[in-house]
A and B are shown apart, each in its own frame.
Chain A
Amino acid sequence: MAMVEVRDVRKKYEGGFEALKGVSLQIEEGEILALLGPNGAGKTTLISAICGITQPSEGTIRVGGHDVVTDYRAARSLVGLVPQEINLEPFQKVADAVRFSRGLFGKPRNDALVEEVLRKLSLWDKRDSRVVELSGGMKRRVLIAKALSHEPRVLFLDEPTAGVDVELRRDMWETVAELKADGVTIILTTHYIEEAEAIADRIGVINKGEILLVEDKQSLMTRMGQKELRIELAEPLDAIPEPLRSFELARVDEGRSLVYSYNTTSERSGIARLMGQLTDAGIAVRDVATSQNSLEDIFVGLVSAQQTATPDAPDGACKTAGAK
């Protein structure tokens, strides 16, 4: 059974804007799913619909098998949410804020657990500080501490590393890895492709309220690991000579170039052997160049393909596509 099951969810905001256009998504227990998408893609809207902050106009959502509308108590008690915006009571003390969240989720007071969470997020020293006295990155960690305080089985992190320094980002990735080890299902949204690469098991791409792709990171990486070597020849070739037939070669540009495809994830690329064979065959090489298919290419490709498919879409929505 999927831990989170989103089926045909549509969300029309007041004013008629459709932020989700029939989204379906299954998230398995214990996995980390990264949702990538440009500004305004609908990431936050999707998370809000799952967590009960907005009501979907159509479709059903289940968490742990519980419908989030009809059986909201059971569903929500499994879910922790770290919102994108830093929403905190300014005059509350850090430890009180964390305890409050735990109480709100119906869990009995547990100071040992609160301490553990605060220590893990390097907030223990700040436990008696008021929220206004914290830096932005610390406030974000308070949000995370609040979400972890009630021991969620599913954790939503809406751009957890936006505006966070490199060191803290690593810390957060580590925290995420620890949570995964405890079997927590994690869904995070991000604009940073490296972030998705670093921690996710699966990667989903969303744009304009539609899921364009959800794929295992490994297979996506294999696709990305595909490289091409373009060999420009001194003299055009009519055909690929016999000794070179064992290589995956393509004759392009009316024989003036050869393109060799190889995978960086395999043990040897075969480039050295290929070059040797070319020399042996007496083929003179003028220039070589390599190109790589990155996740970013795939991402930008998907988003711009969708862009051209719907030319009447308001511009601006996609301006930051692929922005890192």
Chain B
Amino acid sequence: MNWSAVWSIYRFEMDRFFRTFAQSFISPVISTSLYFVVFGAAIGSRIDQVDGVSYGAFIVPGLIMLTVMTQSISNASFGIYFPKFIGTIYELLSAPVNFLEIVMGYVGAAATKSLFIGLVILATSTFFVDITIQHPLAMIAFMVLTCLSFALMGFIIGIWAGNFEQLQLVPLLVVTPLVFLGGSFYSISMLPPFWQTVTLFNPVVYLISGFRWSFFGLADVPIALSLAAIAGFTLLCLGIIWWIFRTGWRIRQ
């Protein structure tokens, strides 16, 4: 293993994060506050409780997941797309590194950033609602795994994208709808039976459900299924990336 290369890439990516630290910190704080004002105050005054949890607290895991997923994707996809765009990727391709080292550097950094933002949101939300976390370790584990797997997906998007529009396309057209429809702001049980079934085809449901379980001990789907879903998703992304580097798809002409 070329750990030095992993560390170099990781540090380089984190440097970019620290250069814009204030921005990275303030924007999630503001957007979280807005969500609480809109969802918590406006809707929360009508929906009192969901499964015995106050609505304001109920949306916290979904809110964290929503941000963490989109941030992981955009960080990682931008991270690898940019060197492709400005041509500095030549150095990665000519260096004695394998795909795993490159992925660990970029995905590790992207996941770190979104994990940080996730924690900022969690901290911000304690100013608005009372939150008790029943399974803190599971909560952290779910959050870390989500950051990693969505950063992996972002990495794939970054390699696939041929221009900046495509870079935005998948997050905008696929991920955001899946997350919104995945029970971020409601419980699946609130839907009519038909839509409940449809929702079960949405992979994000399993992640949000598992994450919410770690907070409140209640879940839409069995926790084992949630774990399996996130593990499967991570493996799928890793497999695709392994194939990309083997064939040189979209990176080596």
Asked if A272 is at the interface (CB within 8 A of a chain B CB), the reply is no
In the complex, are the beta carbons of B248 and A90 less than 8 A apart?
no
CB-nearest residue of chain A relative to B88?
Answer: A87
Given contacts A14-B253, A100-B12, A106-B5, contact A73 B94 (CB under 8 A): no
In the complex, are the beta carbons of A90 and B86 less than 8 A apart?
yes
In the complex, are the beta carbons of A53 and B94 less than 8 A apart?
yes
In the complex, are the beta carbons of B87 and A72 less than 8 A apart?
no
Asked if A304 is at the interface (CB within 8 A of a chain B CB), the reply is no
Within 8 A of A (CB), among B1-20: 2, 4-5, 7-9, 11-12, 15-16, 19
Asked if A179 is at the interface (CB within 8 A of a chain B CB), the reply is no
In the complex, are the beta carbons of B93 and A53 less than 8 A apart?
yes
Asked if A101 is at the interface (CB within 8 A of a chain B CB), the reply is yes
Asked if A316 is at the interface (CB within 8 A of a chain B CB), the reply is no
In the complex, are the beta carbons of B252 and A103 less than 8 A apart?
no
Asked if B24 is at the interface (CB within 8 A of a chain A CB), the reply is no
Asked if B124 is at the interface (CB within 8 A of a chain A CB), the reply is no
CB-nearest residue of chain A relative to B9?
Answer: A104
| A88 surroundings in chain B (CB, below 8 A) | 86, 88
CA distance A318 to B116 in the complex (A): 56
CA distance A108 to B9 in the complex (A): 14
Q: Which among B8, B19, B88, B91 has the highest number of chain A CB atoms within 10 Å? A: B91
Asked if A13 is at the interface (CB within 8 A of a chain B CB), the reply is yes
| B4 surroundings in chain A (CB, below 8 A) | 103-108
CA distance A100 to B11 in the complex (A): 9
In the complex, are the beta carbons of B97 and A55 less than 8 A apart?
no
In the complex, are the beta carbons of B94 and A55 less than 8 A apart?
no
CB-nearest residue of chain A relative to B2?
Answer: A106
Within 8 A of B (CB), among A233-280: none
In the complex, are the beta carbons of A105 and B96 less than 8 A apart?
yes
CA distance A77 to B12 in the complex (A): 20
Chain A 131-162 near chain B by CB (<8 Å), digits 1 or 0: 00000000000000010000000000000000
In the complex, are the beta carbons of A55 and B252 less than 8 A apart?
yes
In the complex, are the beta carbons of B8 and A104 less than 8 A apart?
yes
| A107 surroundings in chain B (CB, below 8 A) | 4
Flag the segment in A78-86, A193-201, A286-294, A307-315 that touches B: A78-86
In the complex, are the beta carbons of B8 and A73 less than 8 A apart?
no
CA distance A13 to B248 in the complex (A): 13
| A96 surroundings in chain B (CB, below 8 A) | 12, 15
Residues of A in contact, count (CB < 8 Å): 34
Asked if B234 is at the interface (CB within 8 A of a chain A CB), the reply is no
In the complex, are the beta carbons of B96 and A106 less than 8 A apart?
yes
| B19 surroundings in chain A (CB, below 8 A) | 91
CB-nearest residue of chain A relative to B98?
Answer: A73
Distance between A63 CB and nearest chain B CB, rounded to angstroms: 11
CB-nearest residue of chain A relative to B7?
Answer: A103
Asked if A230 is at the interface (CB within 8 A of a chain B CB), the reply is no
CA distance A163 to B87 in the complex (A): 19
Asked if B90 is at the interface (CB within 8 A of a chain A CB), the reply is yes
| B92 surroundings in chain A (CB, below 8 A) | 104
| A101 surroundings in chain B (CB, below 8 A) | 91
Distance between B253 CB and nearest chain A CB, rounded to angstroms: 5
| A105 surroundings in chain B (CB, below 8 A) | 4-5, 95-96
Within 8 A of B (CB), among A203-242: none
CB-nearest residue of chain A relative to B3?
Answer: A106
Distance between B94 CB and nearest chain A CB, rounded to angstroms: 4
Distance between A87 CB and nearest chain B CB, rounded to angstroms: 3
CA distance A83 to B93 in the complex (A): 12
| B15 surroundings in chain A (CB, below 8 A) | 96
| A75 surroundings in chain B (CB, below 8 A) | 96
Q: Which of A52, A76, A87 contacts B87 (CB 8 A)?
A: A87
Q: Which of A74, A79, A100 contacts B94 (CB 8 A)?
A: A79
Distance between A94 CB and nearest chain B CB, rounded to angstroms: 14
CA distance A99 to B11 in the complex (A): 11
In the complex, are the beta carbons of B91 and A103 less than 8 A apart?
no
| A73 surroundings in chain B (CB, below 8 A) | 2, 96, 98
| A83 surroundings in chain B (CB, below 8 A) | 87, 90
| B90 surroundings in chain A (CB, below 8 A) | 53, 81, 83, 87
CA distance A99 to B9 in the complex (A): 11
Distance between A48 CB and nearest chain B CB, rounded to angstroms: 8
Within 8 A of A (CB), among B96-114: 96-98
CA distance A146 to B12 in the complex (A): 15
Asked if A51 is at the interface (CB within 8 A of a chain B CB), the reply is yes
Q: Using a CB–CB distance below 8 Å, which chain A residues touch chain B?
A: 13-14, 51-55, 72-77, 79, 81, 83, 85, 87-92, 96, 99-101, 103-108, 146
Known: A53-B90, A79-B94, A103-B7. 18 other contacts (CB 8 A): A55-B252, A72-B96, A73-B96, A76-B96, A89-B86, A90-B86, A100-B8, A101-B91, A103-B5, A103-B11, A104-B4, A104-B5, A104-B8, A104-B91, A105-B4, A105-B5, A106-B97, A107-B4
10 A-B residue pairs with CB within 8 Å: A51-B93, A52-B94, A52-B252, A53-B90, A54-B253, A73-B96, A81-B90, A104-B92, A105-B95, A106-B97
